[in-house]
Amino acid sequence: MHLAYPAVLSALLFCTGLYGVLARRNAILVLMSVELMLNAVNLNLVAFDVWLSQAAEETLHSGQALTLFTIAIAAAEIGIGLAIVLAVHRNRGTSDVDKLRDTAEGHEPDGHEPGGPGGPDADGSASDAPTTPATGTAAEKTEATA
C-alpha cells in the first residue's frame, strides 16, 4: 500500500478535529474534536509502525505500543474532561466555552465583540448570574437524590 494514503487521511482527520476545536461552542463537542485529533495521530502511528517494521529484523513495535498508550491516555483524558465539564455545568449552568470568560481581560467594561452573538448572550449570563448557579445546583441535587 502506498504510505501516502494513511498519511493523507490522518492529516485530513487532524485538520477536521482542529476545525472542530476552534469552531465549536459546546465543551463536549470540543472534546469530541479532540478525540478526532488523537485518532489521527493513532492512524499515523499504526501506519508508520507497519512501514518501519518491515525493514527491521528486531523491532520494538513502538508504533503499536504507543498507539495503545495513546488510546488509554485518551480514555483518561475524556473522563477528566467530562468531569470538569459537568462541574462547570453544575456551577454555572452552562457548558458553553464562549460564556466562560472569567479570566478574559478587557471584555467586561466595554461590552463584547461587536456584532457577534456573544454580546447579548454574555450580558444575559451576567445579569442572571446569581440565579443560574442556584437552579443548576438544585436540579443536580434532585437528580442525585432521586
Partner 1 sequence: MTPAATAVLLAAQAQTHTHVQVQAQAPAQGFLSPTGVEIAFLLVGVVTFGAAVVTVTTRQLVHAALWLVVALGGLAVEYLLLTAEFIAWVQVLIYVGSVVVLLLFGLMLTKAPIGRSPDADSGNRRAALAVAVASAAALVWVVVDAFRTTWIDLDGAVAGAEGARGSTQVTGEALFRNWVLPFEALSVLLLAALVGAIVLSRRTSPGSDRPTPASDRRPPSQEGAR
Contacts to partner 1 from residues 12-71, by CB under 8 A: 12-20, 22-26, 28-29, 31-33, 35-36, 39, 42-43, 46-47, 49-51, 53-54, 59-61, 64-65, 67-69, 71
129 binds partner 1 (CB under 8 A): no
125 binds partner 1 (CB under 8 A): no
SS3 26: strand
Residue 77 near residue 34 (C-beta atoms within 8 A): yes
Q: How far is the C-alpha of 41 from the C-alpha of 52, rounded, in Å?
A: 16
Q: Which is nearer to partner 1, 1 or 102 (CB)?
A: 1
Q: Which residues contact 110 (CB under 8 A, 6 or more apart)?
A: none
Closest approach, Cβ 111 to partner 1, in A, equals 14
Q: Which is nearer to partner 1, 102 or 143 (CB)?
A: 143
Closest approach, Cβ 92 to partner 1, in A, equals 11
**Of the candidates 90, 83, 95, which has an alpha carbon nearest to the alpha carbon of residue 25?**
95
End-to-end CA distance of the chain: 56
Closest approach, Cβ 114 to partner 1, in A, equals 11
Residue 140 near residue 87 (C-beta atoms within 8 A): no
Near partner 1 in 64-123, by CB under 8 A: 64-65, 67-69, 71-80, 82-87, 89, 95-98, 113, 116-118, 121
